[in-house]
Amino acid sequence: MSEQTKDAAHDHHSMLLSQGFPSFPTTTTTHDHHLINYSHYPPFMMYHDLQNPTTHQFHHTHHHHNPPHDHDLCSLFLQASADYITTAPSTPFHLSSNNCSSSEVAVCNNNKNWNDSNSHEVVIRDIAAENPPTPNSWRSFSSPEAGSVDEDSSCKGKKDLQLEVCEGGDIGKSKKLKAGKTKEEENKKQREARFAFMTKSEVDNLEDGYRWRKYGQKAVKNSAFPRSYYRCTSQKCSVKKRIERSHEDPSVVITTYEGQHNHHSPATIRGGAAAAFLAPSLFSPPPPAFPILPQVDIFSPSTAAQQYSQQQQPQLPDHHHYSLFPDMLSSFLQNPHDP
DNA sequence: CGAATTTGACCGGCGC
DNA sequence: GCGCCGGTCAAATTCG
């Protein structure tokens, strides 16, 4: 990696620090690309490609906690994501027409240039509703201050649709029950919560802080690209993930997480690879694995926000873009099933 | 040599 | 019942 790229990494990191972001990302370097990974701070994972500074790739990571059950929280969650991505100059993360195969849900922005508008639109795709998936199975969510939906959006006119963030959660259950199934039938197949997201990346298996063992690979119907199956290598952790490349846009990788980790990220514990090339002063003393946050009720986002703001507000910049971030962060960090 | 990956076999769900 | 399909298993193979 060039000195220039190192400097860019350093600058980018310093900028984030000054804005109140956490100080210990890990990094992934492949070919000419250098990615900073903020996966330690679920539900936000952001890859910043320093080789192409106009490209920001961000993910939500639901695998640390139960996904939201409540529509308002879904909205907050998505809004927070939109806010978050808006804080950095970037080109739109263009994914609206992707077919995400067996992924239950994908979240992305939808042909939005975040710089040109203060409106936010997040698109959710629910393949439980339609099979095979079609572009119309993308559902749109607009933030309260959102402007009009893109003219070419396939989601136009579907704002009244309910959000469904994952399969296996209560929202999905109630929906299936509505379709006429009994509770017995419903309990028969209880799948872990899943969350899928898409990223533009040359690398299939993006570093997310956890260690994975591949246990299978299958050809995907109507796709030249196979799907790989991974399990978390940690003992007694049953989290799985699938990785496949979109056949419609081979530059897009679709990652699906299933389940919740019952442990923290090994990369976080070790301090992350970023320390290897970024200024050591930025990373010492070693930060805690996770911020200490109050137990929050994920069904009550407003309460969570209040609790968080009382404890954490001083560390955060006075900038409305970040107002939702700590709320969501605290909601997803607290796992009642943790030992 | 142990760990990780590969890959064909196998299994269960589902639609016809 | 049959075939398709997604997902998993596990023996063989490769890797470090």
Per-residue confidence at A230, pLDDT binned at 50, 70, 90?
A: very high
> How many Å apart are A278 CA and C4 C1'?
52
What are A105-137's pLDDT values in tens digits? 333 322 222 222 222 222 323 222 223 223 332
pLDDT of A322 over the 90 cut: no
Chain B bases closer than 7 A to any CB of the protein: 4-9, 13-14
Rounded distance in angstroms from the CA atom of residue A32 to the C1' atom of nucleotide C5: 38
**Among the ranges A6-10, A148-152, A199-203, A245-249, which has the highest mean pLDDT value?**
A245-249
| Torsions phi, psi for A141 (to 5 deg) | -130, 130
Chain C positions within 7 A of any protein Cβ atom are 5-10
What confidence score (pLDDT) does residue A215 get? 95
Residue nearest to nucleotide B4 (CA to C1'): A213
Interatomic separation, CA of residue A206 and C1' of nucleotide B7, rounded (Å): 23
Region A60-70 average pLDDT: 32
The pLDDT tens digits of the residues spanning A44-57 come to 333 333 333 333 33
What pLDDT score does A265 carry? Answer: 63
Residue A221 beta carbon within 7 A of nucleic strand C: yes
Q: What is the pLDDT of residue A248?
A: 75
Q: Is A26 left (phi over 0), alpha (psi -120 to 50) or beta?
A: beta
Is any atom of strand C within 7 angstroms of residue A159's beta carbon?
no
CA gap A197, A170 in Å, rounded: 20
Are A59 and A45 in contact by the 8 Å Cβ rule? The answer is: yes
Query: What's the pLDDT at A227?
Result: 93
β-pairing, A106-109 vs A194-200, is parallel
Q: Is the pLDDT of residue A263 over 60?
A: yes
Of A82-96, A114-128, A241-255, where does the model show the most confidence?
A241-255
From the CA of A245 to the C1' of B5: give the distance in Å: 19
- The average pLDDT across A84-94 equals 28
Residue predicted with more confidence, A260 or A221: A221
Per-residue model confidence (pLDDT) at position A228: 94
pLDDT for the residue numbered A208:
67
Query: How many percent of chain A have pLDDT more than 90?
Result: 4
CA A325 to chain centroid, in Å, comes to 12
Taking the C1' atom of every nucleotide in all shown strands and the CA of A189, the nearest one is B13
* Any strand B atom closer than 7 Å to A214 CB: yes
More confident residue, A126 or A245: A245
Task: Give one DSSP letter per residue of A148-193, joined into a string.
Answer: PPPTT-TTTT-TTSPP---TTSHHHHHHHHHTT--HHHHHHS-PPP
A251 touches strand C (CB under 7 A): no
pLDDT at residue A233, as a whole number: 87
Min mean pLDDT across A12-16, A59-63, A67-71, A277-281 is at: A277-281
User: pLDDT exceeding 70 applies to what percent of chain A?
Assistant: 17
- Which of A243-257, A264-278, A296-310 has the largest mean confidence? A243-257
Residue nearest C10 (alpha carbon to C1'): A215
Q: How many alpha carbons fall within 13 Å on the CB side of residue A168?
A: 19
- Answer whether residue A32 shows pLDDT above 60: no
